[in-house]
A and B are shown apart, each in its own frame.
Chain A
């Protein structure tokens, strides 16, 4: 019986454990390494540089003349036919009309809720999401569990487009973990980091044959991240 082994194992481990009772979960804040960006650093620029360095594509829309044209041109350049967006209510809060831009780039765009299956999503060329957080230190996009967004929308379409609200862009890894532990504004509401989240840093890659880097093995072959000059809760 498997249950029996649990008792035996814990009995054995308890008879020899060396730690002090209660010390396991005591708070022990991590020191920030000097490579993590801090106050005063340009997070959007650091994010952009880090993501581009690993084969992702990133644009700081806050620093360009015409953000709508920038995004529209990138989408057109992909040469794709279909796109799928989640039904995040926050899309309505953006001043950038993302869905219209996709439409006018010639894509057939569907919005989906949580009832869509991964098999259905796999038929689309482009998955479009909002980042729940982004980490400048590593050029990382974070997607957590949300009721209106399937987990596989950022995985099974051939390409992934993600918009990063300015107020969800963080400095280093420590800022992210502290934010979810302490319930920062971007980590609350229906953003559920306690059930599931994933970090996405650039396109899917492998070097399993002769150590030769190849892009797009199981996940998306192109990942475009556009940092917005605006935040979602700025109003």
Chain B
């Protein structure tokens, strides 16, 4: 998917005008909030668990080359194959060449952010293959020709009516179908595809070095379908997904499931370390892991940002972010939205193509507090802002105003003078309404905001007089 992360202002302005989207985001965030809060409240050891998750994941990231090597050795010893790809183009070609050499024609896919990242579907379809998304939300998005807007709930921006219309147009179902009926229609259509597919493609939530295991977490059963029925299973995996030991999953699965959907565990979790074994009648005959770098090693090499690779894609930072909650996932212009998207996108697509994203935050700090892996997202956003300025992203007016501010802030006398002069002007602006006075670039900011009318005297004077009265 071609990044549009340099267009956050335009995309988010459009999103703010979309009243269904705002309703949908509100509904989703309140349901995600309630679920996660319950799940965390019912776990008195949550903080210890976060620390454990952080420490175990950090150990793998600090020892990344060894972790990958051990994983590779273990998976190969049971007949799996491992490939490494520098970028999206290399990974797409790798997947296609595996499919070609196995004579595959029809592909079912499970929801995977990394395959969105490398725009795998377009590539495979252009090569003449049939590709169907198996996750209901992804299937809806695929029929609509769109991209997911949330890591956990990709079709969060679609209403029931829109889905009914899509299914009516593509599958001939009742245009007024309710949600259970829509789900049934999808089940029937996709069931046929699953049973006829010869290639299954998935991502991975974790891979385990110690045992060469791919771990896949889901609720619908589509991942089990894609990894059980077809002859070939291809998992496309970011190189950062590795954990040291299988027993680390006790902590990591609790953290992921509770943070993502508030479940203790999801309906299905698959642990795949091998193609089908001698005695088994189903399961894939061939198992391939395609590791993707695509900017991850560059991010890894930056010690101030490395912890972003600890992300387990639970979506909690999106659900608790006031900016995401207003503008939705598509405003971020690429695959990964929300605070974590604002941190990793500049690394993956280049800071010059995503310099607005680190600004898409009020730095309220909630993302850092809810992150089950304790990733210091607010600090990272600040660090990226500094990098963007160093790279020359700040315009003339921003540089000028910061220079003036720093001059004023260093001189108490000048500061007081400006406050005294500024108050009448400020009252005038507040009375007249911001938008009617501020023009030019300030208009974008002022159009949707109003200013409270300030008092006649300032805070300093009130403080002085109040102290004289004895502070009552």
Which A residues fall within an 8 A CB radius of B? 2, 5-6, 8-10, 12-14, 16-19, 21, 23-25, 27-31, 33-35, 50, 54, 113-119, 122, 137-140, 145-148, 150-152, 155-156, 172-174, 176-178, 180-181, 190, 192-212, 214, 216-220
Q: Show 16 residue pairs from A and B whose CB-CB distance is below 8 angstroms, ordered by the A residue.
A: A6-B84, A10-B65, A25-B210, A139-B264, A145-B280, A147-B278, A151-B224, A152-B229, A197-B271, A199-B271, A201-B266, A206-B219, A208-B135, A209-B140, A209-B179, A216-B183
Query: Residues of B contacting A190 with CB < 8 Å?
Result: 279
B250 within 8 A of A: yes
B435 within 8 A of A: no
Which B residues fall within an 8 A CB radius of A? 24, 27-28, 31, 42-45, 48-49, 52, 56, 59-60, 62-70, 78, 83-86, 90, 94, 134-137, 140, 153-156, 158-160, 163, 179-180, 182-183, 186-187, 190-191, 194-195, 209-211, 219-222, 224-225, 228-229, 239, 244-251, 253-254, 261, 263-274, 276-283, 293, 297, 300-301, 303
User: B136–A173 contact, CB under 8 A?
Assistant: no
Assuming A2-B90, A178-B247, is B60 touching A24 (CB within 8 A)? yes
User: A150–B244 contact, CB under 8 A?
Assistant: no
Given contacts A9-B293, A30-B247, A177-B246, 20 further A-B contacts (CB under 8 A): A5-B85, A9-B239, A10-B68, A17-B65, A18-B62, A24-B63, A27-B245, A28-B56, A33-B48, A117-B282, A118-B229, A155-B225, A155-B228, A173-B253, A195-B273, A195-B274, A204-B221, A208-B140, A208-B154, A211-B28
Query: Residues of A contacting B267 with CB < 8 Å?
Result: 54, 200-205, 219
Q: Which residue of A25, A152, A207, A212 is within 8 Å of B245 (Cβ)?
A: A25
User: B66–A24 contact, CB under 8 A?
Assistant: yes
Docked Cα-Cα span, A180 to B247, in Å, equals: 9
Least CB distance, B88 to chain A, in whole angstroms: 13
Least CB distance, B187 to chain A, in whole angstroms: 6
User: A199–B153 contact, CB under 8 A?
Assistant: no
Q: Which residue of B44, B90, B268, B301 is within 8 Å of A16 (Cβ)?
A: B301
Query: Residues of A contacting B62 with CB < 8 Å?
Result: 17-19
Docked Cα-Cα span, A186 to B42, in Å, equals: 30
* Total inter-chain residue pairs, C-beta < 8 Å: 266
Least CB distance, A54 to chain B, in whole angstroms: 7
Least CB distance, A98 to chain B, in whole angstroms: 21
Assuming A17-B65, A204-B267, is B187 touching A195 (CB within 8 A)? no
Assuming A23-B63, A155-B228, A177-B249, is B48 touching A117 (CB within 8 A)? no
User: B297–A12 contact, CB under 8 A?
Assistant: yes
8 tightest A-B contacts by CB?
A147-B279, A219-B221, A114-B281, A19-B63, A208-B137, A218-B221, A195-B274, A13-B65
User: B94–A151 contact, CB under 8 A?
Assistant: no
Docked Cα-Cα span, A212 to B136, in Å, equals: 12
Docked Cα-Cα span, A220 to B191, in Å, equals: 12
A209 closest partner in B (C-beta): B179
Docked Cα-Cα span, A209 to B160, in Å, equals: 6
User: A198–B224 contact, CB under 8 A?
Assistant: yes
User: A177–B63 contact, CB under 8 A?
Assistant: no
Query: Residues of B contacting A219 with CB < 8 Å?
Result: 220-221, 224, 267-268
User: A204–B251 contact, CB under 8 A?
Assistant: no
Least CB distance, B69 to chain A, in whole angstroms: 7
User: A117–B63 contact, CB under 8 A?
Assistant: no
Docked Cα-Cα span, A118 to B276, in Å, equals: 14
User: B282–A2 contact, CB under 8 A?
Assistant: no
User: B246–A218 contact, CB under 8 A?
Assistant: no
Docked Cα-Cα span, A13 to B49, in Å, equals: 29
Docked Cα-Cα span, A130 to B466, in Å, equals: 77
User: A196–B283 contact, CB under 8 A?
Assistant: yes
User: B86–A5 contact, CB under 8 A?
Assistant: yes
Assuming A25-B209, A31-B52, A208-B136, is B228 touching A118 (CB within 8 A)? yes
User: B191–A151 contact, CB under 8 A?
Assistant: no
Query: Residues of A contacting B179 with CB < 8 Å?
Result: 209-210, 212, 214
